[in-house]
């Protein structure tokens, strides 16, 4: 095993919850933008932590599944994953309550059953899934 990699991002918030605002900056410099109460709890402009978690999970899962398929002799033409992070009020505050992964693979020479087996393994094994194990994660997977 090689050395561990550390990735960083930052967020700054000014003001109260409802009247404040903030910015999120990815350490790579590939994103720097606003977030607010409205972008998190309503439908205002800007990003929010849950959208960023969804992007991270979709990206990690797609890579993990592609790797597993290629390792099994079925390199994919493409794997596209959508992640829907459910967030809302629960007893005692707010929580992420579920993440729904929906993936479609273009994989030559594989049948649906084998594809689903690899997709389930990727769901269990991708590092972001492991980090989010406290949350229910569902998976819908199909071949294109």
| pLDDT tens track for 14-42 | 999 999 999 999 999 999 999 999 999 98
CATH code matching the domain that covers 49-143, chosen among 2.40.110.10, 1.10.3720.10, 3.40.640.10, 3.30.300.20: 3.30.300.20
Q: What is the spatial distance between Cα 97 and Cα 87, in angstroms, rounded to a whole number?
A: 6
> In this structure, what token pair is assigned to residue 62?
């797609």
**pLDDT, tens digit (0-9, with 9 covering 90-100), for 60-86:** 999 999 999 999 999 999 999 999 999
Q: Which residues contact 69 (CB under 8 A, 6 or more apart)?
A: 75, 76, 79, 105, 107, 110, 115, 118
pTM, full prediction:
0.94
Q: Are the CB atoms for 122 and 83 separated by under 8 Å? A: no
């Amino acid at each position: 095993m090689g050395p561990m990699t550390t990735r960083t991002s930052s967020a700054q918030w000014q003001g109260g919850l409802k009247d404040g605002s903030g910015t999120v900056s990815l350490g790579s410099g590939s994103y720097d933008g606003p977030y607010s109460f409205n972008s998190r709890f309503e439908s205002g402009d800007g990003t929010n932590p849950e959208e960023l978690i969804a992007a991270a999970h979709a990206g990690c899962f797609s890579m993990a599944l592609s790797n597993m398929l290629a390792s099994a002799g079925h390199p994919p033409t493409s794997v596209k994953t959508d992640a829907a992070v459910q967030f809302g009020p629960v007893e005692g505050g707010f929580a992420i309550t579920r993440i729904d992964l929906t993936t479609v693979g273009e994989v030559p020479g594989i049948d649906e059953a084998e594809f689903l087996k690899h997709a389930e393994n990727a769901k269990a094994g991708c590092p972001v899934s492991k980090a989010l194990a406290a949350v229910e994660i569902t998976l819908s997977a199909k071949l294109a």
